[in-house]
Amino acid sequence: MEARIASQIAKWQSSPEFILFLIIYTSNAIKCTFSVIILAFASLSEDLGVDESIVVWVIFCPQLVGGMLSTPLGRAADLYGRKTCFFAGCILHLISMLACGFAPNAALLIAARAITGVAQSLEGPAGGAIALSCYPKEKRGMVISWYTVTLTLSNSLGMVLGGLLLKFMTWRSIFLCNFPLVLVVLPFAYLALPNENDPLKDMAERSPRLSSPKSDAEDDDDIALEPVEVKVEKGEEDHHQGAPEQLQAAKPPFDWGGSVMLSLCFGALLLGLNRAGPWGWDSRPVLLLLGGGILLIPMFGLDQHRKGRNAILPPIFVSDPLMLVTIAMKLILVAVYNIAFILLPYYLQEAKGWTPDGAAQLLMVRPLVFSLSSWFVGKTCQSLLSSAKMIIAGIVVFSAGVLVLTTCLELHWAFTIVGVCLQGCGAGMLFPTLATASYSRVSAEDMGVFNGFSGVLDALSTCAGQAVIISAVQSFGGMQDPHAYVSAFQCTVPFTLLPLAMSFHLFYLVFNLPTEEGGLGGDWQAASHENQATKGAQAGREKNRFACYCFLAWDHPAGFASCNTDEEVEEEPVQHDKPLK
């Protein structure tokens, strides 16, 4: 019995698919409360006896705390152990869920939600780094696509289930029902996730699905597994494949000064953008917050340049042109995508007289199309060059959706569905491929800090888009004027054309990358014949298979079994015993 249990645990530990499932499930269970709590806005205000301006902090507080701590805690996960940070985040989340569920007043509820933000900062970057490190670089696009698909679907499903909970129970059930969802997965994660000092990049090689097939006799011998010693050549460049002692020696010190400076910068910008709508852009607190955050950016840059590799952000994050272009494109597109998410429900209810349920059902089409296109991208884009091509196609589709919404929004509601579907399809093509292009430039030891850094940038882009579009609606006539929504939405058209121009520059950068980094080295002939080479290889396999059938079927009937493979058959020279007539 013990041998079978040990065998099952060993299979879990060597299965990247199982590890990916555990991390995706845990991340979605933790993040679904952020979308569900929006539905309980009115009941929170009534039950706690506070104004809605106080309830806003219940929603925004974990975002603010998470934005301030995600990057430093992501770097801590890279240095001191991703599994440790992942479990610490899960345990903190469980504590915060109990504290939120039994909070007697608004102050304690906001404090508990701040703990939720810390838990998300610990769990999110560490879990994503573990999942990506368990797969080879060419399969990271598939991992990112699955992350995107499941997160989108879980948010939509969480809104539906959360509405049912609020219909029959109180808002406290949102937090208390989330507690067992995370608790049940912790024992499996403790047994399956690799330890801090294990070579994470070798997880794919230990996977039964990615290794060579075993015979039945070998499968029977898997019950009693012997520990495998990993031998590493001296001087290996990737310190993830080194011994624990080498890992300890190679760790740079934690950048406390840069962490504090970056946290203050992100916190000031997030708070200033969030308060710009209710307080006004010209209010003194908003100006101080935004001005202070902007002034901290060059100071932080000088500090990081002085520290070099010991900085909290690796130099490649701000020096690599490909990474800078992909990050800038994603920031713009995330802002435009969330602007439509905010404006369309208001417009359908205020201008068209739709009910909230009807508007939600119409807009539910977008995440479904987004998920399907993301899944397709994860299956098809396995190289940096194919990702660059998909980015250009995705921006064209995304821009077409924005143009349909801006020009036909006041016409029949069918045009709204068409625009929403095009925008969701384009965003599903764009976001995973942009993330894949960015992660292709990140080394294995910096996955955690990049996860946290990219998450904060997305939060900043979302807050900026919300603040700007709400101010635009108010300046064009106010929230009660239907034409104000159309005029404000038309302002987003130039922001979709700018990424289109940047995508061609991105393709140029990928095209000129060296071949060992996923590019083509500036070889136009290789670029034009990339697809032809793939088709030619397939045609060659079919030709060899046909020849195999023709010749082996006559002299060697047993050779049919060898013909049903995709391996190319090498022709051997024929030895003639006597001259041919």
Its sign, for the CA torsion 175, 180, 183, 189, is negative
Tell me which residue of 14, 141, 19 sits closest to 82, measured CA to CA. 19
Do 73 and 125 meet the contact criterion of CB atoms below 8 Å apart?
A: yes
Do 271 and 60 meet the contact criterion of CB atoms below 8 Å apart?
A: no
What predicted TM-score, i.e. pTM, was given to this entire model? 0.76
Q: Name the H helices within 37-171.
A: 41-48, 52-80, 82-101, 106-133, 140-168
d(CA 381, CA 113): 38
Q: Over its length of 581 residues, how does the chain's per-residue pLDDT go in tens digits?
A: 667 777 777 777 777 888 888 888 888 888 877 777 877 777 888 888 888 778 888 888 998 999 899 999 999 998 888 888 998 999 999 999 999 989 988 899 999 999 999 999 999 899 888 888 888 777 777 888 888 888 877 777 777 777 778 778 888 888 888 899 889 888 888 888 877 544 344 444 444 444 334 444 444 444 344 444 444 444 434 434 444 444 444 577 888 998 999 999 999 999 999 888 788 888 899 999 999 999 999 999 888 888 877 888 888 887 888 888 888 888 888 888 888 777 777 777 777 777 766 777 777 788 888 888 888 887 777 677 777 888 888 889 998 988 888 887 777 778 888 888 998 899 888 888 888 888 888 888 888 899 999 889 988 988 888 888 888 888 887 767 777 777 887 888 888 888 888 888 787 777 777 766 655 555 444 444 444 444 444 444 444 444 443 434 344 444 444 444 444 444 444 444 444 44
Burial of 216 (0-12, 13-18, 19+ CB in 10 A): exposed
DSSP structure string for 327-393:
HHHHHHHHHHHHHHHHHHHHHHHHTS---HHHHHHHHTHHHHHHHHHHHHHHHH--SHHHHHHHHHH
Q: Residue 573: what pLDDT?
A: 47
Q: What counts of helices (H) and strands (E) characterise the chain?
A: 25, 0
Q: Residue 99: what pLDDT?
A: 93
Q: Residue 269: what pLDDT?
A: 93
Tell me which residue of 108, 80, 117 sits closest to 263, measured CA to CA. 117
The secondary structure of 403-426, three-state, reads: HHHHHHCCCCHHHHHHHHHHHHHH
Domains of the chain with bracketed CATH? 1-193 (1.20.1250.20), 313-519 (1.20.1250.20), 536-568 (no CATH)
